[in-house]
Amino acid sequence: MTLLAVRDLCIDIGGRRIVEDVSITLEAGRSLALVGASGSGKSQSCMAPFGLSPASVGGSVLFDGEELVGAGEKRLRVVRGRDVGFVFQQPLTALTPHLTIGAQLREAWTQAGAARPDRAAMAAALERVGLDRPAERLDQYPHRLSGGQRQRALIAMAIAHKPRLLVADEPTTALDAMLRAEIMALLGRLCTEEGMALLLVSHDLAAVADHADDVAVLHAGRIAESGPTAQILGAPQNDYARALIAASPRLDGPPPELGPVGAPLIEAERVSVSFRRPGWRRGRTIAVDDVGLSVAEGEAVAIVGGSGSGKSTLARAIARLGPIDVGEVRWRGMPLPERRAMRPRDRAGLQPVFQDPVASLDPLWTVADIVAEPLRRLRPDLDATAVDARVRAMLDEVGLDPALAGRRPSALSGGQAQRVAIARALGPDPAMLLLDEATSALDVLVAGTILDLLAGLQRRRGLAILMITHDLAVARRLCHRILVMDGGRIVEAGPTEQMIAAPQHHVTQRLVAASR
């Protein structure tokens, strides 16, 4: 039975058409994935027909035979509360921060007129979606949960009123590989048990291949190709669909050509980091426990692991960007000063590139100011003319049009913003880059171009790279070695191809299995 029938859907925002003539059909109990690059219209195609966007909608959207286009907000609110559940990309922003998980679950449960649930029923709902200690979670606030726990809680709220359609908008983008696989398996199981239809928005083609019956590839607001998942992903006919699939990192492709490795550059020994426990609880939480690593000149090393494993805390401690309790860090054989004692010449050698490209850039500054800032602070030998020339050279090196120099971050795409962040990091002429999930916020096409850029920069400049990532396939494209962290410790380390072909530790084995 057809549950959702979309015909000739058109969506306009601010007088600009962003979706044109999109037609899809979804039957009860089946799953359909919308895939494509950022800005292709995937999310708007799912949200606007249900009144969750300021856009104007044209065409026809029949939900169980009822026309939604032109329906008033009052009617759409009834449909959302009774028949449709929504799982959003960022669970921390989708959840109300000042309400407990139990209060928010109760609200979702009763929105369709159901009886007020008791604690036992709500705890059972959280347990069903895989949350440990469910009764305890009912009294916790969203910030006390990990990313995976928050997403599970959000899923419990989305299905509490037993909807017939579940809309999941990039539900796993912010999660590590193991959690992504678990969440997608959970959504598939719930849809099977409840007989729900699943409308999935994703740029994770591996997840789509395993969990969607059909797929529609969107490009520039139009459907480029659609059909059964195995057919579209196995033998795409459209050039854009082929490019999208080719850009997805894989573990089974030919190994990349990596540059030569030189002398040791940075060495860390017996590093430990702890944090004071919040609230009334006493003591400290150990985030990094007695860890050592080294990165040589021209070498790329990836630290991989699940959320909360300590990989970013370790990297920030080594780079003197975050706290460190004990441990020694040497740069070219000499002790690196403590964080507050770092001098400009110490900072210039190791430059960071962060996960969210827009959030890491000052929104009030122009691109030229952003790239010039570290030059003014870390390269006092350069006068104003030399700084301006180097800014232009850095923008050119990362493939950006110099005309973008006068723009602010809000006027840049995600890929352009990350290229600006890389240009800023390259300005002081560092020997090493710290990449903290530098591509996880980007779609596969943009992330692929950023990885190609970094690989080219590494070869031309002989850059060392310390990459923090939860994606082994991404690490494989760039890195000589992989270190796997779990519970604040390195549990396995070795050459990249060896780690992927013959993982020994159970955490590494799970990461490899989740990345295939």
Both tokens of 465, joined, read: 């790279």
Query: Could you tell me where the DSSP H helices lie in 353-479?
Result: 367-378, 384-397, 414-426, 444-461, 472-478
Percent of the chain clearing pLDDT 90 (strictly above): 58
User: Of 371, 329, 374, 373, nearest to 347 (Cα)?
Assistant: 374
Amino acid identity at 1: M
Tens of pLDDT, residue by residue over 264-280, are: 999 999 999 998 875 55
Least confident span in 96-105, 351-360, 430-439:
351-360
pLDDT the model gives residue 513 = 83
The CATH H-level (homologous superfamily) assignment of domain 2-247 is P-loop containing nucleotide triphosphate hydrolases (3.40.50.300)
Q: Are 317 and 352 in contact (CB under 8 A)?
A: no
pLDDT at residue 54 above 90?
A: no
The domain segmentation of the chain, as residue ranges, is 2-247, 250-349+432-516, 358-429
Separation CA 467–CA 94 (nearest Å): 29
What angle, 0 to 180 degrees and rounded to 10, lies between the N-to-C axes of helices 506-515 and 177-194?
60
For 333-345, what is the mean pLDDT? 92
CA gap 74, 55 in Å, rounded: 17
Q: Given this model, what pLDDT does residue 278 score? A: 58
Token pair of 499, please?
Answer: 């780690």
For residues 46 and 112, the model is more confident at 46
Mean pLDDT, residues 188-216 taken together = 87
| 364: three-class secondary structure by DSSP | coil
Percent of the chain at pLDDT exceeding 70: 98
Tell me the HSE value of 141 on the side-chain side, using a 13 A CA sphere.
8
402-408: Cβ within 8 A, 24+ apart: 404/367, 405/366, 405/367, 405/368, 406/366, 406/367, 406/368, 407/366, 407/367, 408/363, 408/364, 408/365, 408/366, 408/367
Distance (Å, rounded) from C-alpha 372 to C-alpha 36? 34
What fold is seen in the domain 250-349+432-516?
Rossmann fold (3.40.50)
What is the overall mean pLDDT for the chain?
89
The closest alpha carbon to 40, from 18, 59, 25, belongs to 18
Question: Taking Cα atoms as reference points, which of 191, 207, 101, 117 lies closest to residue 154?
Answer: 101
Task: Give every strand in the sheet of 16-27, ordered side by side.
Answer: 16-27, 2-13, 56-63, 66-67
Tell me, yes or no, if the two domains 2-247 and 250-349+432-516 fold the same way: yes
The yes-or-no verdict on residue 207 having pLDDT over 80 is: no
Residues in CB range of 144: below 8 A, 6 or more apart: none
Tens-place pLDDT, residues 223-280? 999 999 999 988 999 998 888 888 877 787 788 888 899 999 999 999 999 988 755 5
pLDDT tens digits, 9-34: 999 988 889 999 999 999 999 999 99
Q: How confident is the model at residue 281 (pLDDT cuts 50, 70, 90)?
A: low
Nearest Cα neighbor of 3 from 23, 28, 33 is: 28
Q: Is pLDDT at 423 greater than 90 in this prediction?
A: yes
In this structure, what token pair is assigned to residue 40? 């292709």
Question: Where are any strands of DSSP class E within 194-235?
Answer: 197-201, 214-219, 222-228
Task: Average the pLDDT over 25-49 and give the result.
Answer: 90
Distance, in Å, from the CA atom of 185 to the CA atom of 190, rounded to the nearest integer, reads 9
Q: Which residues does 35 contact at the CB level (< 8 Å), separation at least 6?
A: 42, 202, 203, 205, 208, 215, 216, 217, 218, 244
432-436 vs 284-296, strand pairing mode: unpaired
More confident residue, 154 or 176: 154
Top-confidence range, 99-103, 171-175, 200-204: 99-103
CB-based contact 100:143 (threshold 8 Å): no
Q: Tell me how far the alpha carbon of residue 4 is from its chain's centroid.
A: 29
Residue with tokens 């028949």: 83
Q: What is the pLDDT of residue 279?
A: 58
Cα–chain-centroid distance for residue 394? 26
Least confident range from 113-117, 349-353, 429-433: namely: 113-117
- Cα 400 to Cα 262: distance, rounded to the nearest angstrom: 30
Report whether 6 contacts 67 (CB < 8 A). no
Three-class DSSP category at 346: helix
pLDDT at 249: 76
User: What average pLDDT does this structure show over 281-287?
Assistant: 79
In this prediction, residue 251 carries a pLDDT of 82
> At 435, phi and psi to the nearest 5?
-105, 105
